[in-house]
Amino acid sequence: MTNLFQKPQSAALAFMVAGAVWFVVGAVYGMFSAIHLVAPEFLPHVAPLVFGRERPVHVNTMLYGFVGTMLVGIGLYYLPALLKTRLWSEPLAWMAFVFWNLTVLSGPLGFAFGFTQGREYNEYVWLADISLVLAVACLIVVTALTIVNRREPQLYVSIWYFMATFLWTASNYPLGNVMWHPATGAMPGLIDSLFLWFWGHNLPGLLITPLATGAAYFVIPRVTRTPLNSHTLSLLGFWFLIALYSHIGGHHVLQSPIPNWLKTVSVVDSVSMVLPVSIVVINLWLTARGFGGRVWNDPPARLVMGGIVWYIITCIQGPLQSLPFLQRVTHFNNWTVGHAHIAMLGFGGYIALGAMWHVLPLVSGRPVYSNKLINLQFGLITFGLTGFFIVLTMAGLVQGSAWHNGETVLRVLPQLSPFMVMRAALGIFILTASLVGLANLYLTLRPARQEEPLLRGEEAA
Ligand code: HEM
Ligand code: HEM
């Protein structure tokens, strides 16, 4: 056992495997949520599976469990690799793994039985919050001391993003989760919405986005076998992200009586977000220019580039829906659920999966069992998610325009039914994709796999 916790890159692999397992768990809960939006009377007497409990399990398991966990695992591989050293302490990374996954596990175990703080994206109870903060503290120490002990003088941009993610999370998570009020995790009254959305926004913005961006910056130049187009530009994007993303969570509560100056700041800077986003996209694009074939023909890199394409779409939609005149129609309905899925699965999830498949042979020393299965996963998710985006956007527009014209929520519900049926049907493709991924991972790592040679030397480097 001791050996496992000392084995180089074992914690990275553990994070990636856990991410793949959480993807399946989250998808199962997503399916239950989707079915209940079609047939509310489905399994009526199973308390853990009422909509109000299964939905937060779905959301938190997907964000922290699938996307977050997998991206941390990928970072724990590229951190020492890019710094030409070993991870400072493998056992400490394992401690982070345990604390992080206990928090994620507290979702299905806790929310299902009513243990929740009931604030969207801040649902974990205080003990689970502590566990997450401890995980982040371990990751800060491991990352910082690996950087200190590096043999490569230049800090590649992925390292900046990886280190910064944990520093930001260590300060933003306790603040948004109001951890100094252990019983409720909340502030009184309207002010709570500001704290809530501070983290609700920085979870995608300063946890998922930097991890995904760092992973994309790692994978694309490796696959195209070209140097990054511009290191300076990449760091400019990094600083713009901090300058703009950290304080625009007000765009989630534009329809509430929060101070006007805060609304103005959040709208102006939401629109300015085109700067850091364009920098990342242009930089990666110019890196891959002329080598598109290498990206397209490499199944993991295709997923990563797919994630960048979803990032472009998400970040065209995002600034537009921060404009108050548009948000009057799109707020509080399925439009936002569509945005959340293309952002979290499209951008974060595609990059997490692509980078995981890219890194897996390097960590395990074995080639991925089947590239065809990666392609199948890509196809299933792309079909399911594109469908989600279309169906949910249409449902949102039906709801929003009806409400805007004075209709009641109740009277619009029957019109949503076809969209909800289609979403549930499309969910089956994404659930299948998660299972295909887990099977491919198992078949790659299974101990009895003798027939294929282990990767050595240059192939593994
Ligand atoms: C099997 C596939 C999936 C199905 C059937 C599904 C279904 C659902 C349902 C029914 C909701 C609740 C919507 C509502 O309250 O109106 C939801 C919310 C959400 N899901 Fe999924 N989902 C799936 C996959 C994913 C994945 C892979 C991710 C992220 C990687 C994700 C992230 C989210 C998020 C962030 C929300 C909250 C949206 C919001 O509040 O705006 N889902 N999903
Ligand atoms: C240019 C960048 C972006 C802008 C300006 C933006 C803007 C917005 C706005 C205004 C909302 C609230 C919509 C409403 O409630 O009416 C929202 C929701 C959301 N965004 Fe973004 N977005 C951006 C990028 C992203 C990215 C990259 C992610 C994920 C990594 C993301 C994840 C989410 C999620 C999960 C929600 C749903 C929150 C909820 O449950 O209400 N967004 N975004």
- To test the pocket of ligand 2, the residue of 62, 311, 314 to mutate (highest count of ligand atoms within 8 Å of its CB) is 314
- Amino acid 460: pLDDT: 44
| Cβ atoms of residues 228 and 221 within 8 Å | yes
Ligand whose nearest atom lies closest to the CA of 255: 2
- Amino acid 453: pLDDT: 55
CB count in 10 Å sphere of residue 252: 23
pLDDT digits (tens, 9 = 90+) for 96-114: 999 999 999 999 999 999 9
| Cβ atoms of residues 233 and 283 within 8 Å | yes
- Is 348 touching ligand 2 by the criterion CB < 6 Å? yes
Give residues with Cβ within 8 angstroms of 360, minimum separation 6: 13, 16, 366, 368, 441, 444
User: What average pLDDT does the segment 78-99 reach?
Assistant: 98
Q: Domain residues of the chain, as ranges?
A: 10-439
Q: How is residue 453 annotated by DSSP?
A: P
Which atom of ligand 2 lies at the shortest distance from residue 245's CA? 2
pLDDT digits (tens, 9 = 90+) for 330-342: 999 999 999 999 9
Q: How confident is the model at residue 455 (pLDDT cuts 50, 70, 90)?
A: low
Residue 134 has pLDDT above 50, yes or no: yes
| Cβ atoms of residues 388 and 426 within 8 Å | yes
User: What average pLDDT does the segment 418-446 reach?
Assistant: 98
Q: How far is the CA of 113 from the centre of ligand 1 (A)?
A: 20
Give residues with Cβ within 8 angstroms of 257, minimum separation 6: 190
| Cβ atoms of residues 305 and 287 within 8 Å | no
Backbone φ and ψ for 68, nearest 5 degrees, come out as: -60, -50
Give residues with Cβ within 8 angstroms of 56, minimum separation 6: 107, 111, 116, 120, 123
Residue 449 has pLDDT above 80, yes or no: no
Residue 459 has pLDDT above 50, yes or no: no
- Is 119 touching ligand 2 by the criterion CB < 6 Å? no
| Burial (CB count within 10 angstroms: exposed 0-12, middle 13-18, buried 19+), residue 304 | buried
CA 19, 20, 25, 26 torsion: positive or negative?
A: positive
- Is 176 touching ligand 1 by the criterion CB < 6 Å? no
* 244's tokens: 């703009």
Name the CATH superfamily for 10-439: Cytochrome c oxidase-like, subunit I domain (1.20.210.10)
- Amino acid 454: pLDDT: 56
User: What average pLDDT does the segment 414-421 reach?
Assistant: 97
pLDDT digits (tens, 9 = 90+) for 41-75: 999 889 999 999 999 999 999 999 999 999 999 99
pLDDT digits (tens, 9 = 90+) for 268-322: 999 999 999 999 999 999 999 999 999 999 999 999 999 999 999 999 999 999 9
